[in-house]
Structure 1
Amino acid sequence: MKKIKYRKQEKIMKENLKKLAKYYKPYLGTFILDMILAMMSAAVALVIPLVVRFITSKVAYMSANEALSRIMIIVAVLFVLVLIQWGCNYYISNYGHVMGAKIEYDMRAEIFNHYQKLSYSFYDDQKVGQLLSRITSDLFDITELLHHGPENITISLIKIIGALCILSSIDLRLTIAAFVLIPFMLVFAYVLNKRMKRAFKRNRVRIGEINAQIEDNLSGIRVVKSFANEDIECEKFKKGNDLFLESKRDSYHYMGMYNAGLTAFTTMINVIVIAAGGIGIAKGWVNITDFVTFLLYINIFTEPVKVLIDFTEQFQNGYSGYERFLEILSVEPEIADKPDAKELTDVKGAITFENVSFRYKDGVDEVLSGVNLSVRPGEYVALAGPSGVGKTTLCSLIPRFYEVTGGSIKIDGTDIKDVTLKSLRDHIGVVQQDVYLFMGTIKENIRYGKPDATDEEVIQAAKLANAHDFIMSFENGYDTDIGQRGVKLSGGQKQRLSIARVFLKNPPILIFDEATSALDNESEQIVQESLEKLAKNRTTFVIAHRLTTIENAEEILMLTDEGIKERGTHEELMKLDGEYARMVKIHSRT
């Protein structure tokens, strides 16, 4: 069973490495030249001991003038070789690193673009810090592997193979003595490698968890400070940090054993060569010149072994990061365009729910079941009901933030699954209770509704949203920087900017998701006025806890756990004296 599992893992690793190698394709010329120059740099290192051997075996027995002449030629040749080696190493360090940075750029763009395609349900289950670590630290380790890995292996193999060939030509018996420990060293490296891989993968998960905790803390730092819970947050962070340290200790334990073991093996190779060489000199089958040359080459041989030790750690880091990278890329968007999806155009705004059901992917019970609803173009529909009955969910199904699990939703008679997501969402404007504003200026945030809008259009949208006056009260007006998530603005100001964005977008369908529930009375009145202006002649869905904001709706849907329980105007539902009337009476007493 273990054998089958190992073969499966080995097959997966081979496939993953093939995928990884494809990132070299756009930079194949740079990569090939990098490898050629790495080989040349390694070859230069192999020449030096041969020069020493030539001097000790030949030049040392020449006349002084001849020896001096030969040495000058040798020095000139070596100087040229050093210049060649310098040029090779410069290219490797400079252009090789730039190649690695470009690959990192490509991979970061790939995973970021993939993030943009993933559905709401994916982000419901994810921590931002974990996602962030996959696009930062993981990618850095992957590209370090892609840049340094091949050249380190190439240089090391050239030196090891070159040294082995030259050593064999000098003295085969000494070479056999030098390499007698190699099989044991390989077995040792293989066993420790497997354990290191598991440990480094744990490190990746733990650092992602720490990133998630930091992101969560910093995003909510005002809540932390308002409750004076800094000590609690530090304690929570300490637990995550302790787990990370524990996993690091684990990996460093194996890495320490690995490094110490291989260093001991390389030292023992020198000891064996010294012992065998000493015996050979004593018995006359090894001369001093060959022995000195042999020792120099043994050092050239052990140095790339140390490089391979470093590469092993680098490989474990990079490959475990790449596995996490592939985990994200393997996640298919739950909601995507059909191959034959068409553009949604000339939208009037008629929306029909036909026997619509929905449950979350990890849910057992249906949030919505058998919902039937028909909304005329330009109609103002309000959704009322207690929390958790599916008001927001119902509205989220229209722009396909979530996919219906049964039935269909149609706009102007066309199933929303038959049109492209972009064209569908281009015709829908959403104003949420929790307004998200991006870092940057007021103008940039309003223009998010229509990226190619002129300054005049931005100002007009702000005026329609009752935002122009407060914007102009700032020293820099529309160029005012609003800080992270609009922290420099009040709740009412942020909400009006979000409404201005939708005014600029100018969609035929609107969704107001409890857009005024978190505002004070004065701000609510201003925002409500903006919303009514925006909703004019547009198909509008309004979700509201404050029932006073929906009394003028053309149709009110009263949702309960059983679905749409009641529907009608405010007056009709009050006469019915059912769930809606009871809710209104409760609210009027508060």
Structure 2
Amino acid sequence: MNRQSPFFRLLKYMRRYKLLYACLIFTMIVGTALDLSIAWFLSLITNAAVKGEVETWPILIFLAIGMIFFIALFSYLDTYFKQKASLNVRNDIRLDTLNHVLRLPQSYYDKNHSGELLSRFTSDNQAVGEASGHIIMGLLKNPLLALCAFIYLLNIHWPLALISISIGPLMILVGKLFGEVMRKKSIILQEAMGKATSFLQDVLGASVLYKVFGLEKKISKQYQQYSTKISEIERSQGKIQGSANAVSASIATMSFMIAILVAGFFVAKGNLEVGAMAAFIQLMNYLVQPFSQLPGLWSSMQQALAGAERIFQIIDSPKEYEKLPEQGRASSFGTLTVSNVGFSYTKSENDMALRNIHFCATAGQTIAIVGGSGGGKSTLFKLLLGLYSPTIGTIEIDGRCEESMGLRKYRDYFSLVPQESILFTGTIRDNILDGNFMADETSVINAAKKANAYNFIMTLSEGFDTEIGERGSRLSGGQKQRIAIARAILRDAPILLLDEATAALDNESEKIVQDALAKLMVGKTTLVIAHRLTTIQNADLILVMENGNLVEQGTHNELLLARGRYHSLYYAQLEGEEVTEKILMDT
């Protein structure tokens, strides 16, 4: 865990752009000088007006034009450089966050909502970007401007300068007092917004469900609670910010009033020129304004650091890989051996999700895993894929475990067709190529044909270049599953895992997908979680799981003869299918 403060970690990103920040410091210094030149110009023109020096007006007009030009130029450059610095730092942090998120273990995703992660890439990242550009340069420029204005004031009238500078320590104290409170509030606000984002992400991805079940009003009330909490925190922040602004404005106004009264008194006594007083008034603005802005800038910086802290929490989380791995493919395979495997999500021996799982699969075999819901089938698949490590026992491929060969190389032996097809926004071609992005067009077409997907793809207006929408929303369930099978075919891994790949399909789609799966399984060692036991009668080995235990294993005929748990499941399912078929015939 990196214990360095978020601010110093943010500075490391900013140091990557030393030249850019050097340009920003240059524009800041020139901008400060140009600001002060207005007070000098005001003094010149006031004295010339009082003394009736009309002949100096052409020179004053020329000076005014020059000052306007340079103020506009450096204002543009300053804004441009700030924006560029902010964008660069935001981009670097965003990329580093994603590169770390891609290497997080599955346990992190199981414990944290994707919406929470999304908020780190959006609102938190935006706040950090503002801090590395406009806010940090404001925190540097305002004290510099105040210091330079104070030095200028000393040259005009040192007693007035001392009165004016008294505002500084008070403003810094206000910023410190209110800034820490704002930071704590900002962390709470970001967390609340993350929860609201998670909720919205769930809702927006389930439009069919809430429309069919009439959940609109319920969802609206739930989101109202999230929104109300956010509003309450923002309202509290507003009160704190308002209090800080009110205190700083009162101090600034009081200091300004005192200084003006004293300056007017000295002019009345003849100890100060009118032009000097005009310059003094302008300089007072440059002294008061920076200090009055400091509490707000400091508060914004605290809010940005709260966002940075949330981002760095992710970056500090333990990861699976040191570097992003390359896509690979295992060419040969002998045996997969699972030896006395036990597993607990909580690492407690009293809370085991799997106990004493043992079997061996050789090249080309088909192994079916059956059992009721909660039996541990999906957990076993997670262990086989290296998403979790066994708490007890070992899983070995050709005598080597995941630790000895490396996680990425271990996973190269596997391909997966899940129950619910996981597709990315993009084209059909993009999703098939995820199986092997080095494959040529011919290989993509052949994979689609083997997956029984080619014909429906070619009926689409854009063919393989058809955009499938979010999670494949423009495709039917069967079409999505065939794309997933084509992806697995292109991967050509020696071990294939099928997680109830046809469970969510209608009968017609199931037949098409089952035919595609049969082609995919040729020459592969296949482990299949089966919901329909009639489809696995020819499996080389059937594992029967119940409550995390392997209660039976054998072939279909052996298990039926044993008249145990598999026998009960098989005939109960047959009876259920017969009843369903009879009901359908009667209707």
TM-score range, shorter chain: over 0.9
| Contact 1:357–1:369 (8 Å) recurs in 2 | yes
Q: How far apart are 1:32 and its partner, in Å? A: 0.5
1:360 — aligned with what? 345
Q: What pairs up with 1:462-473 in 2 under 5 angstroms?
A: 462-473=448-459
For the residues of structure 1 that align with 2:544 and 2:488, how far apart are their CA atoms?
27
Q: Which amino acid aligns with 2:307?
A: G
- CA-CA distance at 1:140 after TM superposition: 1.2
C-alpha distance in 2 between matches for 1:261 and 1:586: 77
How much has 1:425 moved relative to structure 2?
2.3
Equivalent residue runs for 1:179-328 within 5 Å: 179-281=165-267, 285-328=271-314
Cα distance in 2, alignment partners of residues 532 and 112 from structure 1: 37
Q: Which moved more, 1:520-529 or 1:72-81?
A: 72-81
Corresponding residue number in structure 2 for 1:3: none
Picking from 18, 22, 35, the partner of 2:8 is: 18
Kept in 1, the 8 Å contact 2:139–2:298? The answer is: no
Cα deviation digits, residues 432-462 of structure 1 (max 9, x gap): 1011122222222212211122222111111
Structure 1 position 17, deviation (Å)? 1.4
The yes-or-no answer on 1:154 pairing with 2:140 is: yes
Partner of 1:5: none
Please report the TM-score for the alignment, with normalisation by the length of structure 2.
0.92
Q: 1:543 Cα deviation (Å)?
A: 0.5
Which of residues 539, 551, 564 in structure 2 aligns to 1:578? 564
1:458 match: 444
Residue 331 of structure 1 is matched in structure 2 by 317
User: How far, CA to CA, are the matches of 1:337 and 1:283 in structure 2?
Assistant: 75
Matches within 5 A, 1:451-530: 451-530=437-516
Q: Does 1:140 align with 2:130?
A: no
Q: Is the 8 A contact 1:38 1:155 kept in 2?
A: yes
CA distance in 2, matches of 1:181, 1:336: 53
For structure 1, which segment, 391-400 or 147-156, has the greater mean C-alpha deviation from structure 2 after superposition?
147-156
Asked whether the equivalents of residues 167 and 288 of structure 2 are also in contact (C-alpha less than 8 Å), the reply is: no
The residue type equivalent to 1:51 in the other structure is: F
Alignment partner, residue 45 of structure 1: 35
CA distance in 2, matches of 1:480, 1:45: 57
Shift in Å at residue 338 of structure 1?
11
Amino acid in the other structure paired with 1:218: L
2:549 to 563, 568, 576: 563
Shift, 1:249, TM fit: 0.4
Structure 2 unpaired stretches of 5+: 577-587
TM-score, normalised to structure 1, is 0.92
In 2, the alpha carbon distance for the partners of 1:321 and 1:337 equals 25
Counting only pairs closer than 5 Å after superposition, residues 367-382 of structure 1 correspond to structure 2 as: 367-382=353-368
1:359-438, aligned counterparts within 5 Å? 359-361=344-346, 365-438=351-424
Q: How far, CA to CA, are the matches of 1:126 and 1:562 in structure 2?
A: 24
In structure 1, how many angstroms separate the alpha carbons of the residues matched to 2:322 and 2:276? 72
Tell me the CA shift for residue 540 of structure 1: 0.8
- Give, as a single letter, the amino acid of the residue that structure 2 aligns with 1:190: K
Taking a change above 3 Å as real, the CA distance of residues 179 and 75 of structure 1, as seen in their structure-2 partners, is same
Range that drifts further, 253-262 or 347-356: 347-356
Contact 2:93–2:125 under 8 Å retained in 1: yes
SS, match of residue 410 in structure 1: strand
8 Å CA contact 1:38, 1:89 repeated in 2: no
What is the CA deviation profile of residues 521-549 of structure 1, one whole-angstrom value per residue up to 9, with x for unaligned ones?
Answer: 22222212221221122111010111112
SS of 2:5 mapped into structure 1? helix
Q: Distance in 1 between matches of 2:56 and 2:367?
A: 98
Cα deviation code 1:464-512 (max 9, x no counterpart): 1112222223333322222221222222221111111101111110000
**Counterpart code for 1:106:** D
Q: Distance in 1 between matches of 2:364 and 2:267?
A: 102
Q: Bigger shift: 75-84 or 549-558? A: 75-84
Query: How far, CA to CA, are the matches of 1:92 and 1:280 in structure 2?
Result: 38
Shift of 1:68: 4.4
Whether the 8 Å contact between 1:337 and 1:417 is mirrored in structure 2 is: no
Offset at residue 59 of structure 1 (A): 7.9
**Counterpart code for 1:33:** C
Structure 1 runs of 4+ off > 6 angstroms? none
Provide the residue aligned with 1:33 in structure 2.
Answer: 23
The 2-side partners of 1:481 and 1:188 are apart by 55
Instruction: Determine if the alignment matches structure 1 residue 113 to structure 2 residue 99.
Output: yes
* Alpha-carbon separation, structure 2, partners of 1:147 and 1:552: 66
What RMSD in Å do the two structures reach over aligned CA positions? Answer: 2.4
8 Å CA contact 2:174–2:295 kept in 1: the answer is no
1:145 is matched by which residue type in structure 2? Answer: A
Of residues 81, 99, 111, the one that matches 1:95 is 81
| Alpha-carbon shift at residue 234 of structure 1 (Å) | 0.6
Structure 1 window deviating more from structure 2 (388-397 vs 506-515): it is: 388-397
Q: Which residue of 2 aligns with 1:8?
A: none
- Checking the alignment, whether the CA contact within 8 Å between 2:560 and 2:566 is kept in structure 1 is yes
Indicate which of 326, 329, 333 corresponds to 1:348: 333
Q: Tell me whether 477-486 or 133-142 shows the greater mean CA deviation.
A: 477-486
Distance 1:562 1:309, change over 3 A: closer
Gap change, CA 1:516 and 1:124, over 3 Å in 2: same
Q: What amino acid does structure 1 have at the position aligned with 2:34?
A: V
Contact 2:171-2:292 at 8 Å conserved across structures: no
User: In the alignment, residue 332 of structure 2 is paired with which amino acid?
Assistant: V
- For 2:209 and 2:202, locate their aligned partners in 1 and report how far apart those are by CA, in whole Å: 11
Structure 1 residue runs of 5 or longer lacking an equivalent are 1-10
Report the Cα offset of residue 351 of structure 1: 0.4
Maintained 8 Å contact 1:446/1:498: yes
Structure 1 window deviating more from structure 2 (280-289 vs 491-500): it is 280-289
**CA displacement, residues 177-229 of structure 1 (integer Å, 9 cap, x when unaligned):** 22334333332332111211111221111111111111110011110001011
Give the direction of change, closer, same or farther, for the CA distance of 1:107–1:145 in structure 2 (3 Å limit). Answer: same
SS of corresponding position for 2:384: coil
Q: Which amino acid aligns with 1:354?
A: S
Q: Is the 8 A contact 1:344 1:420 kept in 2?
A: no
Q: Structure 2: how far apart are the matches of 1:449 and 1:344?
A: 10
> Which residue type is aligned with residue 476 of structure 1?
E
Aligned letter for 1:498? A
Give the deviation of 1:272 after TM superposition: 1.0
Q: Is the 8 A contact 2:371 2:544 kept in 1?
A: yes
Match of 1:7 in 2: none
Q: Which amino acid aligns with 2:20?
A: T
Identity of matched residues, %: 31
Distance 1:121 1:43 in 2: 56
The one-letter amino acid of 1:589's match is: E
Alpha carbons of 1:428 and 1:239: their partners in 2 closer, same or farther (altered >3 Å)? same
The higher relative CO (CA closer than 8 Å, separation ≥ 6) is in 2
Quick one: structure 1 residues 188 and 337, their matched pair in 2 at CA, closer, same or farther if it must change by over 3 Å?
closer
Pairing of 1:158-177 with structure 2 (within 5 A):
158-177=144-163
CA shift at 1:60, angstroms? 4.9
Aligned counterpart, 2:582: none
Larger deviation, residues 48-57 vs 199-208 = 48-57
Q: Which amino acid is 1:388 matched to?
A: G
Q: Which amino acid aligns with 2:372?
A: P
